[in-house]
Amino acid sequence: MSKVLLLFITLFTFLIQAKAQLLPLSTASDSAKHYYYLGWKQIMDYADYTKAEQSYRKSIAFDPEFILGQSLVGRISPDIKERYEILEKINTKKHLATEDEQLVADVSVMLIEFLNAREEMDSAKTAEKIAIALQTGLKNFGLIGQKYPEEVYFISEYFEIVNYLYGPKKALDTLKSYNLSLKKPAPFLIGYESTLEAALGNYDNALELAFKLKKCFKDKKVPKPYVVLGDIYLQKGDLESAYKYINKALELDPANRAVQRLKKRAEVLQENNF
């Protein structure tokens, strides 16, 4: 385990003692802030890419100079030309953001560059960009997590990076230590814990958490629980159940790229089984 990761895991266990606050935003527009936070909730807790994109675009409509808002539009935009334009704007205007916002914007810039390289089918550049983005994200989101323990979505991205770099066991241990500091865990964290349990082969635990997540939304029709259930059943090898939940999630949000990737994985698995 790297010294950086060990340090952040240790610090996360003490987040319960930290003073809870959100990262101060440089925009003076309350409407820009409202749609910025709403977009995060929609994409992370609800897994609704379509509504999240709409909210992020409303955020920068109220304040076109809001760098974090611009960076999120860049990350979710399907238009490579627009992504390049946003990259240029962020790199030109980033100095107007706070120092902490710049930590987040730096990761977004690298992720947008990765998306562009992948779409341009430059494999060497794609590998380079994602490697840099992951290491920068591990460091920057870790720092944000220490300083702003209520920034659950940035911290959630930190857990995703830990999983990618060090595997589900390390990510699950880190997530559980952080969950101790939350009176009411965010839906994203419940869902992500569920998928990590599935990755470790703990399917009963995974399904219990997934149905707990589903109850969080009561009668609210959002893709998230269906995305999680589709992922679990896919990892379990139950294609019939996986397709059932994947198709339900796509019905609720056809633009959901996470579900689109799940469906491709299911199709590959199905082909390999014949």
* CA 67 vs CA 64, 75, 270: distances in Å: 8, 12, 43
CA distances from 7 to 1, 10, 12, 211 (A): 10, 5, 9, 33
111-133 tens-digit pLDDT: 999 999 999 999 999 999 999 99
φ/ψ of 52, rounded to 5, equals -65, -45
Q: What is the pLDDT of residues 68-89, one digit of tens each?
A: 999 999 999 999 999 999 999 9
Buried b (16+ CB within 10 A) or exposed e, 128-152: ebbebbbebbbbbbbbbbbebbbbb
Of 233, 256, 260, nearest to 244 by C-alpha is 233
- What is the DSSP code (8-state) at residue 20? P
The H or E element that residue 78 is part of is none
Amino acid type, 71 = S
Give how far the C-alpha of residue 242 lies from the chain's centroid of Cα atoms, to the nearest Å.
21
In whole angstroms, give the CA distance from residue 127 to residue 56.
28
CB 259 within 8 A of CB 250: yes
What 3-state class would DSSP assign to 116? Answer: helix
Neighbours of 97 (CB within 10 A): 22
Q: Confidence band (pLDDT; 50, 70, 90) for 219? A: confident
CB atoms within 10 A of CB 22: 13
Tell which wins on pLDDT, 166 or 3. 166
Q: What is the pLDDT of residues 191-200, one digit of tens each?
A: 999 999 999 9
Task: Report residue 264 as tokens.
Answer: 């491709």
Grade residue 5 by pLDDT with cuts at 50, 70 and 90.
low
Q: Which amino acid is at 206?
A: A
Average pLDDT over residues 141-160: 92
- CA-closest candidate to residue 254, choices 60, 18, 51, 3: 51
Q: Is 11 within 8 Å of 176 (Cβ atoms)?
A: no
Report, as an integer, the average pLDDT of 223-233: 96
Please say whether the beta carbons of 241 and 266 come within 8 A: no
Enter the tokens of residue 202. 């703990």
CA distances from 46 to 177, 249, 252 (A): 23, 10, 10
